Structures are given as C-alpha cells and as structure tokens.
Chains A and B, each alone.
Chain A
C-alpha cells in the first residue's frame, strides 16, 4: 500500500509540498499523542497518527524517518512547522476525522502495527 492510495482513500489534505506519494510505502502504523512514547515506540518508515500539531512533531518524524504524519481532529500545524517539515522532507497530512476513525480505516486497508 502506498501513500497516494491512503491520501485518496481517507480524503486527507496534503499540507506539505507534494511528492510522488505512490513511491512511498509505509511499513506500519502507530498512534500516540505523547511524543516521548512515539520516539520510543514508532517503527521506522511507519505512518504516525496524532492530534498533536506542535512543531516538535517534525523533529520526531525526522528522527524516526517516518513515512508521514496524519494530524487528526482538524488540528493545524502553524506555518513555521510546515516550513520546517518541507525542509526536512516530512509529509504532513490533515483530516477533520478523529484518530479512531483514521486508524480503523488504515487497519481495514491492511496496515498493521510495526
């Protein structure tokens, strides 16, 4: 499964610069809003679902080489966070849906925990 399918299927808004998302294939999924847990628990190249939109999410994603961050519940990172995400090559996707819905849908699509 690639990121392009996920974006289309979940109707996600791409907040960062577009890339060839069909070439990005997340290895697994992870959900948490506590960044210390994410740093300890998310697998490399996984897709991370969170409602935390603070700028620190970029550093965490870069550290773990995550495939993308899905920011839920309509939370929006501020412009400086998006600039930093583009600099680091991190993809941020947004949705008004709650985390529960997003994770459920990703599971249905065949994604599993790392």
Chain B
C-alpha cells in the first residue's frame, strides 16, 4: 500500500455538545475541514455519538473521512478521546456509557442546547439528558472497554486544569495502556514535555478541541496508507513505515 500524508483533527464537537457553538453543524464542519486541507476528522461529542452519522453523510463525495468518536468524562472528571473504526463499535460503546451516566436532565439555559441534527444541519430532536457530566466508570475501565471494542483511547487536553488528566490525577495511571495523550493547542509539544516530565515516553497528539469552526488546527500529520483507525494505530506505534507527527504552526 502506498503511503500518503494526511492531516487530521481528532477532536471535533457538534451541536450535540452543549458547549459547542451553533455553527457546529455537519455541512459547515465538513466544509471548514475541506477548506483547511484536513482529510480526516473524528467527531467527539461529550459522552455522546448521536451526530456522527450525520457528519459522515455530509462528507460523502468529499475528500474527507469522518471517524466515529466520543469525548468521555470518567468518574475522576477526566476527559478522554475514544475513537472507533465503525459506527457500530461507537454505538456499542455508547450503550455501555449510557448505563453509567446519571439520569439528570440538561439545563439548556445554563449548559447550552444539545441538538441532534441531520446531514443538512436540520434539527431532529434534543438530547434531554445532561451530557456535561461524569459517567460512573473509572478511566482504567473505560480504557479497557474502548480497547475491547477495537478503539483508541487518548486522554484529552491532558495539560488543562479543567478535566485534564495531569492536573486531575497528577500523572498517567500505572498499568493503563494508552495510544497517546492529547495536548491543548496553546502548548507546543516540547513545552508540554518540559512542563510535565511525567509524560515522557507517551506519544502526543495536538487538537483544536473544536467547539467553533475557527478552532480547527489540523496539525496532526499522519503518513498512512488510508484514513482508517487501523492505520492510525500503526502510525502511533511507528509500525510498518507508518508515522504520526505534530506539524509546527507557522501562524
């Protein structure tokens, strides 16, 4: 398989996340990614997967692959990117998460609306349950579950005080087998390694944690055969000639 360079943004919210801007609609998300020459995105709403299929449909016919994902908040209040190869795997994971989410209604006036939409961005329904909360599962169990479903587990914005792994739990738990750690857009990878010596040895990705169209970064460069999760795993492990690096930004 010939390898190609693919730019990716692996942390993108839609209007299903109460904190996302109303512009985070499937057609606008895919248009923005394509305009920025990003060929791969992962949709990662808070504890939810309901808008992924709509974004995948909106991307049909465009040079953009949309991976299913979720930004899971575990019991420790840590946010984690959970990426899957298929919608079916994401749906199965959602079912498991649902069993551990508290049955607490959303307060749209306080947290924001949680909207399910179609591929045109048209309103379908509202998610009534509060998504901005912790599922009652440990980060260790969540990681194991994601792997059981063939997924990839990457703690999100690990440097961030709010819901980041390093401030919350101090360091990466012993015995947890992660594909990598995500750093926030404001931090350069070498700065992150200086500030947090405890992340030495972990593979880093960087994302815009896209809550508005302006947040797209696309600095993850993969050298892979195809935009699939299987290829991404090879790249994170540096296997079969596959590679992943964080591009330095010129602006």
Give the B-binding residues of A (Cβ under 8 A). 33-39, 52, 54-56, 59-60, 78
Q: Closest Cβ of chain B: how far from A102's Cβ, in Å? A: 20
Q: In the bound complex, what is the Cα–Cα distance between A59 and B77 (angstroms)?
A: 19
Known: A52-B76, A54-B76, A55-B174. A35 touches B138 (CB 8 A): no
Q: Which of B111-119, B149-157, B161-169 contacts A (4 or more CB under 8 A)?
A: B161-169
The complex places the Cα of A36 from the Cα of B167 at a distance, in Å, of 5
Question: A60 — which chain B residues lie within 8 A by C-beta?
Answer: 170
Chain A interface helix/strand/loop/mixed: helix
Name the contact of A36 in the complex, choosing from B138, B140, B168, B174 (C-beta under 8 A). B168
Q: Does the CB pair B138–A78 fall under 8 Å? A: yes
**Interface contact A36-B166, CB-CB below 8 Å:** yes
B interface: dominant SS: loop
> Is B108's beta carbon under 8 Å from chain A?
no
Find the B residue at minimum CB distance from A77.
B138
Decide: B168 and A35 in contact? CB cutoff 8 A. yes
> Is B171 touching A59 in the complex (CB atoms < 8 A)?
yes
User: Considering the complex, which residues of chain B in the window 43-75 have a beta carbon less than 8 Å from any beta carbon of chain A?
Assistant: 75
> What residues of B have a CB within 8 angstroms of the CB of A52 in the complex?
76, 169
CB closest residue in chain B, given A56: B169
Q: How many angstroms between the C-alpha atoms of A54 and B140 in the bound complex?
A: 9
Compute how far the CA of A38 lies from the CA of B167 in the bound complex, rounded to whole angstroms: 10
Q: How far is the CB of A48 from chain B (nearest CB, A)?
A: 13
Q: With the chains together, A35 CA to B172 CA distance in Å? A: 12
Q: Which residues of B contact A35 (CB under 8 A)?
A: 167-171
How far apart are the CA atoms of A33 and B75 in the complex, in Å?
A: 12
Chain B residues whose CB sits within 8 angstroms of the CB of A37 once the complex forms: 167
Chain B residues with Cβ below 8 Å from A33 are 77
Nearest 4 A-B pairs (CB), nearest first?
A35-B170, A36-B167, A56-B169, A54-B76
A55 / chain B contacts, CB cutoff of 8 Å: 140, 173-174
Q: 12 A-B Cβ contacts within 8 A? A: A33-B77, A34-B161, A36-B166, A36-B168, A36-B170, A38-B170, A52-B169, A54-B139, A55-B140, A55-B173, A56-B169, A59-B170
Cα distance A54–B174 in the bound complex, in angstroms = 11
Compute how far the CA of A110 lies from the CA of B175 in the bound complex, rounded to whole angstroms: 39
How far is B176's CA from A78's CA once the two chains are assembled, in angstroms? 15
Contact partners of B76 in chain A: CB under 8 A: 52, 54
Taking a contact as CB atoms under 8 Å apart, the answer to whether B170 and A39 are in contact is yes
**A99 to B164 CA separation, bound complex (whole angstroms):** 22
Q: Quick one: closest A residue to B77, CB to CB? A: A33
User: Residue on A with the closest CB to B172?
Assistant: A56
A56 contact from B75, B77, B161, B173, Cβ within 8 A: B173
- Give every chain B residue within 8 A of A39 (Cβ-Cβ): 170
B227 CB to nearest chain A CB (Å): 34
**A52 CA / B173 CA spacing, docked (Å):** 13
- Of chain A, the residue at the smallest CB distance from B162 is A34
- State whether B171 touches A56 (Cβ < 8 A): yes
B171 lies within 8 A of A54 (CB): no
CA distance A52 to B138 in the complex (A): 11
What's the nearest-Cβ distance from chain A to residue B236, in Å?
A: 24
- Chain B residues contacting A59 (CB-CB under 8 Å) are 170-171, 174
